[in-house]
Amino acid sequence: MLLEVRDLHVEFRTRDGVAKAVNGVNYSVDEGETLAVLGESGSGKSVTAQAVMGILDVPPGRIAGGEILFKGRDLLRMKEDERRRVRGAHMAMIFQDALSALNPVLTVGAQLGEMFEVHRGMSRKDSRARAVELMDRVRIPAARQRAGDYPHQFSGGMRQRIMIAMALALEPSLIIADEPTTALDVTVQAQVMDLLAELQRELNMGLILITHDLGVVADVADKIAVMYAGRIVEAAPVHELYRAPAHPYTRGLLDSIPRLDQMGQELYAIKGLPPNLTAIPPGCAFNPRCPMAQAICRTDVPPLYSVTGTPARRTSACHFWKECLGG
């Protein structure tokens, strides 16, 4: 297994108390596999990724427990310089907002080349040549000329390609993409998503795709983990999850988006709001918004049930997953 997150807990100290952003998350990605982590804002999807990459703001953040195994070794127990080497060469992250993730006062060629200078000890001239190669690879037209341009001279889609190029530079085995296409227009979104999926196949990388968009995920992911209030409430292979969700939150989400191929009457809407992370409701965190909630949901935290009757591994954190699955 390439990456395995086990029972991860992350907390933030805030003025209103301790916010439990991640409460026991488990997931894994293998080489050549795409895992989509789906959730709304505040669900803990990005915080989990930051903990994996080791870029969590500490303090106020704190990893309160768990293991992050990368190729079998626990990243959380490594010394900082060792972890930095692993991260530099084997893991990379793509951020949502490419304009703020790139340095505005350096040319993109210099920023891409820096990767080779620092991690591979290449000369400036060689590293620039590699930078141009990379830009070609992510299909930036006239790469040689454009390597001398600054980030603001590129369009949104082109900037996101540069981010992808930067992530690929050292041929990592794992890429985490945090909302990589959210800031882009639909037609450009499709281009960038396709490029990312193609490069992933080519290099046989593991890809963690963090998103709030159920649509983007459907086209590229192998499996999905749905997060709510810091927990994974449902994990399943992508086809099964869309066909028959085993958690009322997933079901509600799927029903609340209008579909192009269906004329809507009234949209189904999940009532209420996501909980405040400093005061997560007792029992199942989703129970105040859940139409299926019973007495037990208000008192007992549901364990991760193994959803049987399907060939692949599926889990659901709902006491009534069977009823949910059955309609």
Partner 1 sequence: MAEQILEVRDLVKHYPLTQGILFKKQIGAVKAVDGVSFGLARGETLGIVGESGCGKSTVARMLVNLERPTAGAISYKGEDITRLSGRALKAVRRNIQMVFQDPYTSLNPRMTVGDIIGEPFEIHPEAAPKGDRRRKVQELLDVVGLNPEYVNRYPHQFSGGQRQRIGIARGLALRPEVIVADEPVSALDVSVQAQVVNLLERLQDEFDLSYVFIAHDLSIVRHISDRIGVMYLGRVVETGTDAEIYDHPTHPYTQALLSAVPVPDPQARAHRERIILTGDVPSPANPPSGCRFRTRCWKARQRCADEVPLLAVPQAFPEGPAAHPSACHFAAEKHVVPAEGELPPPPPPPGPLHGGQ
Site of interaction with partner 1 (CB under 8 A): 40-41, 155-158, 185-191, 194, 212-219, 238-239, 242-245, 248, 251-264, 266-271, 273-274, 290-292, 294-296, 320, 323-324, 327
Angstrom CA distances, 290 to 67, 143, 233, 285, stand at 31, 52, 13, 10
Smaller CB separation from partner 1, 88 or 274:
274
Instruction: Give min distance, CB of 147 to partner 1, in A.
Output: 18
Q: Per-residue DSSP letters for 32-86? A: T-EEEEE--TTSSHHHHHHHHHT---TTTEEEEEEEEEETTEEGGGS-HHHHHHH
Whole-angstrom distance, CA of residue 287 vs CA of residue 251? 14
Instruction: Give min distance, CB of 166 to partner 1, in A.
Output: 20
Smaller CB separation from partner 1, 121 or 327:
327
Instruction: Give min distance, CB of 91 to partner 1, in A.
Output: 26
Strands (E), the chain: 3-14, 17-29, 34-38, 61-70, 73-74, 91-94, 174-178, 206-211, 223-228, 231-237, 305-306, 315-316
Instruction: Give min distance, CB of 201 to partner 1, in A.
Output: 16
Instruction: Give min distance, CB of 263 to partner 1, in A.
Output: 6
Side chain identity, residue 255: D
Q: How far is CA 153 from the centre of its chain?
A: 28
Smaller CB separation from partner 1, 105 or 295:
295
Smaller CB separation from partner 1, 94 or 174:
94
Smaller CB separation from partner 1, 39 or 172:
39
